[in-house]
Structure 1
Amino acid sequence: MSEKTTKKHHDPVLAEARRKQVLKAAEDCFRRKGYHGAGMAEISKTAGMSAGHIYNYFASKEAIIESIIQQDMEEMFSIFQQFEDQSGELVKVMIEGCDHGVERHLNREDGILKIEMLAEAARNPKVAFLLQESDTQARTRMRGLLVGERSQVKDVTDKELDARINVMFAMFSGLLLRRTLYPELQKDTILLALRPVVKTLLTPF
């Protein structure tokens, strides 16, 4: 499908509400039918507006995916901001934040959507690029935290810092797959082992 040019809107509040309406509908469609199974017709039906109306806000289905990824990034960045704003040792603040991090990655609806986007990334270079860019921004933000004065690992080598960040990200993102394969998985059980591991990654070896 060729991309269309989105129109400008004079009422930003209404435009934002319509955008959120479309994104919520698209997320629901992607969960139920997958990325390929959910065309613009399905999304417009779920959103309760015409496909032509949707093109006023999003130029393509890829643009919708991009906005969904951006929403996820904004939520993640808000968590990083909370880490930055809280006083005290960074390691303690981040260990306490594990509770929210695990809960976020065990959310079934979010998990289904993220798995679907990862599956699409394996087939669609544009979606793969968007997810990779998102991951790069997240790792950069985490690096900023770990090289700050409150961090106990600010003096480790760049290679070691990258390794620690990637292991932490892999642990949390992997919870999506574990919950899919093991639906009975509980947050409290995960935290028993996760908190000590995170503490190890945030302190000198």
Structure 2
Amino acid sequence: MKAKTKRHADPELAQARRNQVLCAAAECFKRKGYHGAGMAEISKMAGMSAGHIYNYFASKDAIIESIIQRDMEETLSLFQEFEENPGDLVTILIDGLDDAVVRHTDMDNKALSLEMLSEGARNEKIATLLQQSDTESRERMRNLLVGERGPLKASSEREINARIEIMFAMIGGLLLRKTLNPNLDKEGLLIALRPAIKTLLLPFE
């Protein structure tokens, strides 16, 4: 049976407490995995009682759902930056690859992504949330590519979808490569990644 979360008189304090729990839970999940990290360990890491945590989250599933939502908000903020930057869109996206490579090869943070994907393979609700997050990211990328400044306005929907899938696979797959090859050369990756992504962002001749 799930606990019921309470309403809080001070929304800012409540949000700070929620973030405190999310950070603690993320650290515990990275160290011991979703099933290995219990609420007792999360509460110890957060510096508050398990009962106090239940004031903000009804269950451990609710915590990981909020972590996924937080990650999605961070991703959408990146797309917002791309949209608001008035420069050439292809140049903006290529320049953003430096940060993308750093983020997707940061094993300290990406260990949590691996754990969520693993849990998604067993937990239908988590899988649905991850899929929804991916769908929204692909939609935002599609809007960029076919929008007013988009380079692929004349391309078919099928072609655009395929290009997005390949780009996401190339960048998202860096996590797997870093896991298998800890000595991955980030600067070397960019030498190959920039022209490859540029080809996918421009109309085929």
State the TM-score bracket (shorter-chain normalisation). Answer: over 0.9
TM-score normalized by structure 1? Answer: 0.97
Residue 115 in structure 1 maps to residue 114 in structure 2: yes
CA distance in 1, matches of 2:2, 2:186: 42
CA distance in 2, matches of 1:122, 1:84: 33
Gaps of 5+ in 2: none
TM-score normalized by structure 2? Answer: 0.97
Displaced runs of 4+ in structure 1, greater than 6 A?
none
Per-residue Cα deviation, 1:45-103 (whole angstroms, up to 9, x for no partner) = 11111111101111111111111111111111111111111122211110011111111
CA distance in 1, matches of 2:49, 2:25: 13
Per-residue Cα deviation, 1:10-46 (whole angstroms, up to 9, x for no partner) = 1111111111110011001101110011111111111
CA distance in 2, matches of 1:91, 1:46: 43
Shift of 1:186: 2.6
Corresponding letter in the other structure for 1:200: T
CA RMSD of aligned residues (A): 0.9
CA contact (8 A) 1:89 1:151 kept: no
Shift of 1:144: 1.0
Partner residue, 2:180: 181
Per-residue Cα deviation, 1:133-190 (whole angstroms, up to 9, x for no partner) = 1111111111111111211112211111110111111111111111111111132111
Partner residue, 2:153: 154
CA distance in 1, matches of 2:45, 2:189: 36
CA distance in 2, matches of 1:148, 1:101: 22
Partner residue, 1:12: 11
Partner residue, 1:97: 96
Residue 138 in structure 1 maps to residue 141 in structure 2: no
Corresponding letter in the other structure for 2:22: L
Partner residue, 2:70: 71
- State, as a whole percentage, how many aligned pairs show the same letter: 63
